[in-house]
Amino acid sequence: MARFQAPKGVSEYVPARSTYFDYVRGTIIESARVAGYQLMELPIFEDTELFSRGVGESTDVVQKEMYTFEDRGGRSITLRPEGTAGVMRAVIEHNLDRGQLPVKVYYSGAFFRAERPQAGRFRQFYQVGIEAIGLADPRIDVEVIAVADRAFKELGLTKYRLEITSLGDALTRQNYLVELRKYIATIPLDAETAARAELNPLRLFDDKREEVRSMMQSAPVLMDYLTGESTEDFRRVQELLNLLGINFVINNRMVRGLDYYTGTAFEFVHSDLGAQSGIGGGGRYDGLMAQLGGQELSGIGFGLGVDRILMACEAEGISLPEGFGLDLFIVPLGTGDAALKIAENLRERGIHVDLAFGDKALKGGMKSADRSGATYSIVIGADELDSGIVALKEMKTGESTSVTLSALAQELIERISNFGEHS
């Protein structure tokens, strides 16, 4: 019988690499939480129209990459390709925009795009994202960038750079698109590309084909058309990044892959990841809430790719802490029931405990203890139960200390606390 395999292009994590994935994801989330962002748990799928309206009809995401299907009720449903549209829908639906502003939330989970699988590019991938909705303030733009930068530094990454730009306001876009359309009319495009350009000419800057990229090298630059207000906002963003000591470069040809971006836009790029060098990015999306039926409120956020960030850590040779660790491994010798009860009592005190199952002999039980990676081990046989005393063995050094079963939990808690061994 053939063995099942995960679908092509799916990123999945099993022990021990899953512990590193969990650590990377947790580090990003903690960076968001210390800045006041609260959890929003989103649906895996939404009405297709949410993404076609929110992400943009002209984008590759909507035109080529969404997993869309009809449910049993005849409704068109799409697996989420990104997080911002879903967050905005939830904010509107639950009236979060009617309370304290800005609304600051984070989310994490799997996202889906029907792309050609390659190194660093998956059909199912994982992101952590944040959104700050309700106020247009360059300080919020920089806070969002700082959340990502702090997480990268906490992970030990050094070979990344922050690229920033401004996509301007509505008047900027209006004036610029007039000139951009004039330029596009002078270059030879195939019918499909021309149709995409008609929907949104900016999409041509995001085209991966070398011939299109070459033609767009001489196109007008959006930043040359910024209004006075947009210019001042972008100047303030740069000033504040410098204030916080966050290094950046200006990329005046950056165009994010989703249509809702306005104003500040940014991307983090890692030098060791080859073609798929982006490890996360985002920007401001003034007008998106109104487009989805809500108030005319501003917002900014990012999506960071956990898969690629882990790959970047591995590429830099960073030694990530184990996300999972055992404090104690119990080897029962004919005392499995009692050992299980002792383990459960210790677990109730917050101690990470595993034990050998299957009535193993001492040699086999100690092999299991070695493989478990536990900090300590004990053997529990009839003698230990009768005396109420066990030998607490430190696995790295082999040193043993006699401890009563009644004091075992407190002894472990003190050792964990003193030496910071608890993961």
pLDDT digits (tens, 9 = 90+) for 104-124: 999 999 999 998 777 778 999
- Specify the 3-state DSSP secondary structure of 189: coil
Q: What are the helix (H) ranges across 67-137?
A: 84-93
Most confident option among 53-62, 142-151, 175-184, 271-280: 142-151
Helix or strand holding residue 272 (H, E)? none
Q: What is the pLDDT of residues 205-245, one digit of tens each?
A: 877 788 988 898 899 999 999 999 999 999 999 999 999 99
Structure confidence at residue 423 (pLDDT): 44
The amino acid occupying position 307 is D
**Average pLDDT of the residues in 19-42:** 97
Q: Is pLDDT above 80 for 266?
A: yes
Q: Is pLDDT above 60 for 421?
A: no
Q: Is pLDDT above 70 for 62?
A: yes
Structure confidence at residue 260 (pLDDT): 72
What number of CA atoms fall less than 13 Å from residue 222's CA on the CB side? 27
Domain 17-169+227-315 has CATH 3.30.930.10: yes
Q: What is the pLDDT of residues 125-137, one digit of tens each?
A: 999 999 999 999 9
Conformational region of residue 362, where left means phi above 0, alpha means psi within -120 to 50, and beta covers everything else: alpha
One-character DSSP codes across 286-297: TTHHHHTTS-S-
CB 208 within 8 A of CB 214: no
**Average pLDDT of the residues in 268-293:** 92
**Average pLDDT of the residues in 329-334:** 96
Q: Which residues share a beta bridge with 10?
A: 124
Which has the higher per-residue pLDDT, 273 or 419? 273
Q: Is pLDDT above 90 for 348?
A: yes
Domain residue spans in the chain? 17-169+227-315, 328-419
CB 173 within 8 A of CB 261: no
Q: What is the pLDDT of residues 349-406, one digit of tens each?
A: 999 999 999 988 999 999 999 999 899 999 999 999 999 999 999 999 999 999 999 9
Structure confidence at residue 257 (pLDDT): 54
Cα–Cα distance for residue pair 221/192, rounded to 1 Å = 23
Cα–Cα distance for residue pair 24/11, rounded to 1 Å = 15
Q: Is pLDDT above 80 for 26?
A: yes
Calculate the average pLDDT of the chain.
92
Helix or strand holding residue 71 (H, E)? none
Cα–Cα distance for residue pair 159/316, rounded to 1 Å = 8
- CATH number, span 328-419: 3.40.50.800
